[in-house]
Amino acid sequence: MRHSIFILITVFLIGCSKSSDPTPGQGSNFSVESISIGNKDLGTNPKGIDLHPEFILSFDESVIEQDLSSSIQILNAEKSTVLSSIKLMDNGKKISIKPVQPLTSLSKFEIFIKNTLKGNLNKTLNKQYNLAFTTAYDPKDKFKRISEDELLTLVQKQTFSYFWDFAHPASGMIRERNTSTETVTTGGTGFGLMAIVTGIHRNFISRTAGLERTKKIVAFLKSSDRYHGAFSHWYNGSTGKTQPFSNKDDGADLVETSLLFQGLLVSREYFQDLELSKDINALFNAVEWNFFQNGQEVLYWHWSPVHGWDMNLKIQGWNESLITYVLGAGSTNFAINKKVYDEGWAKNGAIKNGKTFYNLSLPLGPDLGGPLFTAQYSFLGINPNGLKDSYADYELQVKNQTLINRAYCISNPNGFYGYSETNWGLTAGDIPTGYGAQSANNDIGVISPTAALSSMAFTPKESKEALNFFYYILGDKLWGKYGFKDGFSLDEAWFADSYIAIDQGPIIISIENHRSQLIWNLLMKSPEVKNGLKKLGFSSPNI
């Protein structure tokens, strides 16, 4: 099914009408042999077509002089005719068709050849031909070049607007996506709290305004639905009532709770406000981390007051949820022990990979690393530099998982148009048919800007190369009100019009960690994180 949904834009020659019967004594009809640009037959993959193309249509019989424009056209996506020059070549065996003006970049067109085209001896083209193609991106800069520092600040500021201007007016919580009205997201709000701290640090807002907004969010959380102290994935931003994420996901989400507390603890350490600290401590101390063991040596993702443990999803193996085990171990009232980490999260060592991909070793997780968000979410606050335990060097893990993702895109085994050393990044995000998790093992040709940009703290050189491409080259289509839109495919000439909180947040935070290590320094100061890491057997120069 997935392959039928994501069919690439390919050359297709279809007969839309039956061939006319030849006039007696005049032989059979004639046909198109090939369509090419220069000496290159377009074959079955006409993508990235030059904006000033000259198409050569080759026939197995000669075409006679006639009004060629009535039978041969270039059509745009709206089926309007593109003004073109058309001429016979090679004694009528070939026809050249060339747009008078450059074609628009990253757009869909087709060459349309009617079966009214006449050949020698009044032969008629055997059928109608349609050749669909997409144009290349325009390599010229779309915006004036500015300094690297200015560009990083601009991206942070524009992205910050999502978390400040588009926050829910009643609660200050962060809306799930730019089309949301009442739906607010717990993990996205955790990212938003770290974005507020960054916004103050970068002088986008005042400290007073940031503290006021943070207190508004905390007040909402204090009165919202909770389940054994844990929060839901989604809430109604006005009422504080749980909004089910799926049929049975209508209660606690322990991973979203952890991502929320990552932001709350950063806020507590930054503001050093007595009232705020008291409220955040009370919320944290109420989470019954060990309840979510469900009587086993592992943590479970969900619990519902209606469906209990029916979701049955263990938090284990390499994914975005390391922060959950660290906070659970660092709890004062309801702590988990190291055995839960070793047997649950690390699966008694089965979490290890140890293979090499593109000459880069991958300590943990699935082959080729999986979607990049799994290397990012927990390390927005936890500093991976120098962080080690018996299973991995986490600085190496997050860096190499990112570089393997990039190397895969450069190798481009599926041949998607536009993948390169500056256009890379596979993770979860919007795709043409909805939302999905992209990776080397599930590559449909969609690049998510958050993948490369949220890796800037790990791979600054490579991420900045991608940033320049996204902003200067694709910016006229990719850059908008709240920063970079969620996804795009040069292969399909598709650009999302969406922004998603959990994709926008890591961009501003990772850029700040690259620039100042601000968020890393704040979270690593918190006793809960220090104690949790030590209890689980981690070593780091930062604890």
> What's residue 509's pLDDT?
98
State whether 89 and 236 are in the same domain.
no
Q: Which band of pLDDT confidence, cut at 50, 70 and 90, is reported for residue 13?
A: very low
State whether 217 and 312 are in the same domain.
yes
> What's residue 381's pLDDT?
98
Q: Which band of pLDDT confidence, cut at 50, 70 and 90, is reported for residue 121?
A: confident
State whether 106 and 235 are in the same domain.
no
Q: Is residue 1 part of a domain?
A: no
Q: What DSSP designation does 60 have?
A: S
pLDDT, tens only, 435-479: 999 999 999 999 999 999 999 999 999 999 999 999 999 999 999
Q: 106, 134, 162: which is the final residue of a domain?
A: 134
> What's residue 24's pLDDT?
40
Give, for 485, the enclosing helix (H) or strand (E).
Answer: none
φ and ψ at 413, to 5 degrees? -65, -25
State whether 91 and 214 are in the same domain.
no
> What's residue 7's pLDDT?
32
Q: 82, 102, 134: which is the final residue of a domain?
A: 134
Domain at 262, CATH number: 1.50.10.140
pLDDT, tens only, 47-89: 999 999 999 999 999 999 999 999 999 999 999 999 999 999 9
Position 275 pLDDT exceeds 70: yes
Q: Is residue 542 part of a domain?
A: no
3-class DSSP state for residue 36? Answer: strand
**Other residues' Cβ atoms within 10 Å of the Cβ of residue 368:** 20
Q: Is residue 139 part of a domain?
A: no
State whether 125 and 161 are in the same domain.
no
CA geometry: angle 143, 147, 153, nearest 5 deg: 85
Q: Which two tokens stand for residue 154?
A: 């601009």
Position 26 pLDDT exceeds 90: no
What's the pTM value of the predicted model, to 2 decimals? 0.92
Q: What is the sign of the dihedral through the CA atoms of 317, 321, 322 and 327? A: negative
State whether 197 and 304 are in the same domain.
yes
What average pLDDT does the segment 157-169 reach? 98
Position 45 pLDDT exceeds 90: no
Q: Is residue 499 part of a domain?
A: yes
Q: Where are the beta strands (DSSP E) in 334-476?
A: 352-357, 360-364, 428-431, 434-437
pLDDT, tens only, 276-334: 999 999 999 999 999 999 999 999 999 999 999 999 999 999 999 999 999 999 999 99
Position 8 pLDDT exceeds 60: no
Tell me the C-alpha distance between 67 and 70, whole Å. Answer: 6
Q: Is residue 3 part of a domain?
A: no
Q: Which band of pLDDT confidence, cut at 50, 70 and 90, is reported for residue 118?
A: very high
State whether 274 and 346 are in the same domain.
yes
Q: 134, 163, 194: which is the final residue of a domain?
A: 134
CB 438, CB 481: distance < 8 Å: no
Q: Which two tokens stand for residue 12?
A: 């297709």
Q: Which band of pLDDT confidence, cut at 50, 70 and 90, is reported for residue 11?
A: very low
State whether 355 and 481 are in the same domain.
yes
Domain at 123, CATH number: 2.60.40.1220
> What's residue 43's pLDDT?
79
State whether 158 and 130 are in the same domain.
no
Q: Is residue 540 part of a domain?
A: no
Tell me the C-alpha distance between 222 and 57, whole Å. Answer: 70
State whether 54 and 175 are in the same domain.
no
Q: Is residue 140 part of a domain?
A: no
The structural domain count of the chain equals: 2
> What's residue 28's pLDDT?
75
Tell me the C-alpha distance between 105 and 488, whole Å. Answer: 14
Tell me the C-alpha distance between 212 and 202, whole Å. Answer: 17
State whether 89 and 237 are in the same domain.
no
Q: What is the sign of the dihedral through the CA atoms of 306, 311, 317 and 318? A: negative
Which residue type does 426 have? L
- Using alpha carbons, select from 137, 133, 110, 130 the residue that is nearest to residue 10: 133
3-class DSSP state for residue 66? Answer: coil
Rounded to the nearest angstrom, the gap between the alpha carbon of residue 234 and the centroid of all alpha carbons in its chain is 20
State whether 202 and 309 are in the same domain.
yes
Which residue type does 54 have? E
> What's residue 2's pLDDT?
37
- Percent of the chain exceeding pLDDT 90 equals 94
Q: Is residue 142 part of a domain?
A: no
Provide the residue range defining the domain that includes 319: 148-535
> What's residue 39's pLDDT?
87
> What's residue 108's pLDDT?
94
> What's residue 391's pLDDT?
98
